[in-house]
Amino acid sequence: MDVPVFTELGSLYALMDEHGDRLRRDLVLTVDVQGDTFPVWCLEIGSNDLRAPAIGFFGGVHGMERIGTQVLIAWLQTLLERARWDVHYQQLLESVRVVFMPMVNPGGLVLGTRANPAGVDLMRSAPVQAEKRALPLLGGHRVSPHLPWYRGRVEDPLPPEASALFEVVRARLHPHPFSIAMDCHSGFGFRDRLWFPYARTQEPAPNIAEAFALREIFNRTYPNHSFYLMEPQSASYTTHGDLWDFLYDEYRERYRGLFLPFTLEMGSWLWVKKNPRQFFSWFGLFNPILPHRLERVLRRHLILFDFLLHAAASWQNWRPDAARRETCRQEAMKRWFAG
Ligand SMILES: [Zn+2]
């Protein structure tokens, strides 16, 4: 396919060339933008046994949050290099399926927009209605594609990028007994937040005990990585149309296993605070600009991603049993829902 190559796509193709024998690849969608065609790739390494656990990494849902795509390409490179020489990683990958969809919305990446080329905010586009009133505009609206956070018209089908993401999750994560999804964003607040469902309601999701248990092993394993603020998304704000709310509820209707979707919301206000000139650049509101800061962000989350990969592979060793689950649930209620 003859496509204009922008930086992230070039990096992805370099990895695909270099590690052709280790990567399974599927072109799941093409997106036309102003006469050019851009690919949406799904790449996989590791086991493809449906009895194994699985983990999926997603990025670029919001086009201008390019750092999400960049941290995933950096992580994929690390993982592929480890798989080349590290016997422990080779064994690990025999027991877990690893899915990458690092550029869900290439049209938004090219255009420098949050939305897809049709003006739809993918993260507001799922058929999910917030239970109480979501924030005006930001929570998702059907007013106009010229305003941010547009959900599309009620009669519209799911946008093609969201539909491709749904198909990837339904075919490659949901059928497994355990799976994690990690969707990388940037832009909200001074902290790096790890959000889990729900976005649509302030009611606790049925798996807060498991989310709490995962948080606990992360904090115990990495006591000096306290910079993540893990919480249900509704603790920050509620929205309509959240893709992961929809996929989480759908999974629970169809399967009896465990599917834990997380969104990493990298706190970009910190980068702006440290380099205030970024405030005057649209790109700079969502991405680190100075080279040393970009490098810092690209390495900052490697430990988390590696932790999640191992946590997926060893999920049966930390998933709380019935007694422990009740304790975790009570702790989770105290921490996240006491108000
Ligand atoms: Zn985002």
CA 52 – ligand 1 centroid, Å:
30
Q: Does residue 54 lie in a domain region?
A: yes
pLDDT per residue as tens digits for the range 289-316: 888 888 998 999 999 999 999 999 999 9
Residue 69 contacts residue 109 (beta carbons within 8 Å): yes
Check whether 1 has a pLDDT greater than 60. Answer: no
d(CA 242, CA 197): 9
Give the model's confidence band at 3: pLDDT under 50 very low, under 70 low, under 90 confident, else very high: low
DSSP 257: S
Q: pLDDT tens across 106-163, in order?
A: 999 999 999 999 999 999 999 999 987 788 888 999 999 998 999 999 999 999 999 9
- Asked if pLDDT for residue 24 goes beyond 50, the answer is yes
Residues 245-273 have pLDDT tens digits of 999 999 999 999 999 999 999 988 888 88
Sorting pLDDT into bands at 50, 70 and 90, what band is 4? low
Query: Would residue 311 be called left, alpha or beta, if left means φ above 0 and alpha means ψ between -120 and 50 degrees?
Result: alpha
Q: Is residue 185 part of a domain?
A: yes
45 and 22 in contact (C-beta within 8 Å)?
Answer: yes
What is the domain extent for residue 148?
7-337
The pLDDT of residue 287 is 86
Omega into 198 within 30° of 0, i.e. cis? Answer: yes
Residue 61, in any domain of the structure: yes
Rounded to the nearest integer, the mean pLDDT of the chain is 94
Query: In 222-265, where does DSSP find H-type helix?
Result: 243-254
Give me ligand 1 centre to Cα 84, in Å.
32
Residues surrounding ion ligand 1 at CB below 5 Å: 62, 65, 185
From ligand 1's centre to the CA of 138, what distance in Å? 12
Number of domains comprising the chain: 1
CATH of the domain at 24: 3.40.630.10
Residue 2 lies in a domain: no
Distance from Cα 2 to the centre of ligand 1, integer Å: 28
* Cα-to-centroid distance, 186 and ligand 1 (Å): 6
Q: What is the mean pLDDT of residues 184-197?
A: 92
pLDDT band at 5 (very low <50, low <70, confident <90, very high): low
- Cβ-based burial of 135 (10 A; exposed 0-12, middle 13-18, buried ≥19): middle
Token pair of 90 as six digits: 């080779």
User: Half-sphere exposure (CA, 13 Å, Cβ side) for 53?
Assistant: 22
